[in-house]
């Protein structure tokens, strides 16, 4: 099958039979639901750009399995150039959508599994890597969206999985059959889950022998029997149900998260990539996390949008020449480009693993993500500073269109004669959306907690730093005999 178009992608979602709940009721069509639809539009952009000659080099690649042209989101990295293009692709799509476009986690899951399944086979003589390659070829040939599912609810975090009061707080194997296994549990915070064709499950922490039933990785169609989706709420989400678009901020795109419940779901053996090899749970988590921490190049693209909106807000207010406004915009750009440096650096320093897959530099990927937990918040603060309080005290679009209030809204929120009040309101609503509304989930909260907590990155930085080498350098320069 050739690369899917955006229209074909939408039609492929319509063919799925997903069991999705939102606000306590089952969603009739995730494609047509006004709250979910903007997130589907963002994924569709990844298909649209793959057909644009201007972006084809970033958005597509050659499959190392078949030699076919494929979407880069289904590609296994074959060089540092691939890793760099991944970062550039993330920034491009972040800038074009102003939100999470939801395919990175699947791409990172595929690449991590290409490495870890090979390593398991080398130790245990299993056939996981061959199963994975067959699955990968299926994903590539059909140009599918994969949801990478790693985060368990975790229950009491002071206890390992097997000691939880409720054993289902970590997804686990509850039965083994001749033709497969049965799993039960849930995965939380699943970005883009109901916009995906496939769901790839991985363990969420390192595990001991007592947790072997929880050391499981597999892939299933997203509408497999027993999988249920419960949509998460986002700030200002019901604005999408209102008439008009002005109050939404981003009128085209959005994101979503969901709790994915596995209620005694059957997994055939050919879709299993780990089953009880607990010593590889930790390495899989770390490998996926390194890839996914690199993926936060997308926040640089969203930062581009926010910086542009702040510049326009300053111009609307007539303060764009003020020195302190210029300085704040310079600082926003400095922070944003520093983030870009991090994701490019960890890609450039990538290395090939025994499986043949290229992985990022783990230390630099974690340093990059640590910066992502901080810099977008400062960029957002400065954007709010420049925008002013009107960003959160604006009347609604209905007040702008009402025959009773329109004249006052237009009169008192107008700045320059050559500017439309509506345009000023739209820019302020976009800044609100990116820093406080639905998009703030993807730009701020996801920057903090996505791909692991800030402390998780600090732990990895501590592990990967070569302190002995630094000490040797100091000792040599001051003349101390080591």
Same domain, 309 and 380: yes
Domain end call among 250, 278, 306: 278
Decide if 288 is inside a domain: no
Residue 456's pLDDT band (cuts 50, 70, 90): very high
Is the pLDDT confidence value at 1 over 70?
no
Same domain, 274 and 398: no
Same domain, 189 and 228: yes
Q: Is the pTM of this model over 0.85?
A: yes
Q: What is the DSSP string of 292-315?
A: HHHGGGHHHHHHHHHHHHHHHHHH
Residue 416's pLDDT band (cuts 50, 70, 90): very high
Q: Which helix (H) or strand (E) holds 275?
A: strand 272-275
Total count of domains within the chain: 2
pLDDT, mean of residues 87-104: 97
Return the CATH number at 66: 2.40.110.10
Decide if 482 is inside a domain: no
Decide if 23 is inside a domain: yes
Decide if 311 is inside a domain: yes
104 catalytic residue (yes or no): yes
Between the alpha carbon of residue 237 and those of residues 5, 168, 189, the distances in Å are 28, 30, 16
pLDDT, mean of residues 337-351: 98
According to DSSP H, which parts of 51-148 are helical?
Answer: 56-59, 80-97, 104-124, 128-142
From the candidates 298, 375, 432, 443, give the one annotated as an active-site residue.
298
Return the CATH number at 409: 1.20.140.10
pLDDT digits (tens, 9 = 90+) for 251-272: 999 999 999 999 999 999 999 9
Decide if 83 is inside a domain: yes
Those residues with Cβ within 8 angstroms of residue 456's Cβ, 6 or more apart along the chain or in another chain = 289
- Residue corresponding to tokens 């520093």: 338
375 catalytic residue (yes or no): no
- Three-state DSSP class for residue 166: coil
Same domain, 311 and 253: no
Q: Both tokens of residue 152? A: 């368990």
Q: What are phi and psi of 394, to 5 degrees?
A: -60, 140
80 catalytic residue (yes or no): no
pLDDT, mean of residues 149-161: 97
Query: Is 117 annotated as contributing to ligand binding?
Result: no
Same domain, 259 and 312: no
Residue 381's pLDDT band (cuts 50, 70, 90): very high
From the candidates 75, 97, 104, 135, give the one annotated as an active-site residue.
104
296 catalytic residue (yes or no): yes
From the candidates 292, 357, 368, 443, give the one annotated as an active-site residue.
292
Is the pLDDT confidence value at 35 over 70?
yes
298 catalytic residue (yes or no): yes
Same domain, 263 and 332: no
The share of the chain scoring above pLDDT 90, in percent, equals: 98
How are beta strands 25-26 and 60-62 bridged, if at all?
unpaired
Same domain, 264 and 308: no
Helix (H), strand (E) counts: the chain: 19, 14
Other beta carbons less than 10 A from residue 64's beta carbon: 18
Decide if 283 is inside a domain: no
Same domain, 185 and 324: no
Same domain, 40 and 150: yes
Residue 160, domain extent: 6-278
According to DSSP H, which parts of 17-103 are helical?
Answer: 37-50, 56-59, 80-97
- pLDDT the model gives residue 2: 76
Is the pLDDT confidence value at 367 over 90?
yes
Domain end call among 232, 254, 278: 278
């Amino acid at each position: 099958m050739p690369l899917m178009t955006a229209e074909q992608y939408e039609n492929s979602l319509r063919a799925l039979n997903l069991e999705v709940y939102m606000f306590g009721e089952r969603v009739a069509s995730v494609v047509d639901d006004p709250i979910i639809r903007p997130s589907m539009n963002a994924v569709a952009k990844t298909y649209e750009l793959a057909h644009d000659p201007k972006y084809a080099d970033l958005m597509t690649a050659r499959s190392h399995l078949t030699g076919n042209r494929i979407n880069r989101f289904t590609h296994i990295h074959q060089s540092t150039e691939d890793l760099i293009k991944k970062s550039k692709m993330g920034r491009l799509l972040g800038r074009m959508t102003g939100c999470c476009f939801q395919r990175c986690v699947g791409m990172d899951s595929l690449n991590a599994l290409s490495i870890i399944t090979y390593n398991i086979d080398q130790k245990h003589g299993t056939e996981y890597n061959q199963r994975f390659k067959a699955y990968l070829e299926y994903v590539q040939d059909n140009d599918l969206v994969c949801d990478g599912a790693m985060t368990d609810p975790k229950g009491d975090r002071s206890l390992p999985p097997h000691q939880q009061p409720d054993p289902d707080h970590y997804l686990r194997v509850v039965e083994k059959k001749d033709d497969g296994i049965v799993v039960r549990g849930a995965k939380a915070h699943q970005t883009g889950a109901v916009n995906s064709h496939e769901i790839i499950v991985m363990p969420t922490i390192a595990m001991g022998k007592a947790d072997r039933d929880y050391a499981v990785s597999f892939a299933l169609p997203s509408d497999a029997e027993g999988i249920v989706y419960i949509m998460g709420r986002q700030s200002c989400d019901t604005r999408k149900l209102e008439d008009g678009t002005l109050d939404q901020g981003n009128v085209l795109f959005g994101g979503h998260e969901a709790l994915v419940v596995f209620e005694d779901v059957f997994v055939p053996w050919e879709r299993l990539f780990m089953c009880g090899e607990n010593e590889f749970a930790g390495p899989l988590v770390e490998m996926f996390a390194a890839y996914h921490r690199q993926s936060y190049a997308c926040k640089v693209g969203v930062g581009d949008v926010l910086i542009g909106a702040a510049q326009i807000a300053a111009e609307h207010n007539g303060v764009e020449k003020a020195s302190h406004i210029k300085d704040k915009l310079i600082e926003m750009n400095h922070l944003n480009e520093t983030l870009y440096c991090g994701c490019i650096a960890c890609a450039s320093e990538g290395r090939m693993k025994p499986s043949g897959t290229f992985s990022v530099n783990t230390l630099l990927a974690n340093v990059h993500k640590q910066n992502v937990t901080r810099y977008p918040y400062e960029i957002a603060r400065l954007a709010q500073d420049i925008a002013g309080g009107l960003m959160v005290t604006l009347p609604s679009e209905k007040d702008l269109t009402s025959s009773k209030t329109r004249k006052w809204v237009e009169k008192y929120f107008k700045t320059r004669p050559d500017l439309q009040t509506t345009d000023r309101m739209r820019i302020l609503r976009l800044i609100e959306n990116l820093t406080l509304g639905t998009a703030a989930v993807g730009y701020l909260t996801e920057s903090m907690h996505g791909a692991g907590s800030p402390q998780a990155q600090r732990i990895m930085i501590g592990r990967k730093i070569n302190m002995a080498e630094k000490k040797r350098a100091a000792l040599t320069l001051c003349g101390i005999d080591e």
